Amino acid sequence: MILTLQLTPAQLSRLREDASRAGVDPAALLLQRAGYTSAEDVSPEKEAQDWQREAERFRQWADSHTRKGPGLSLQDMTRESIYGEHG
**Per-domain residue ranges for the chain?**
10-57
Position 9 confidence tier, pLDDT thresholds 50, 70, 90: very high
Mean pLDDT value across residues 35-41: 67
Distance CA 68, CA 42 (A): 42
Distance CA 31, CA 12 (A): 15
Percent of the chain with pLDDT over 70: 90
Residue 32: other Cβ atoms inside 10 A: 19
Q: What is the pLDDT of residues 21-36, one digit of tens each?
A: 988 889 988 988 888 8
Position 16 confidence tier, pLDDT thresholds 50, 70, 90: very high
The pTM score is 0.42
Tell me which DSSP letter residue 43 carries: -
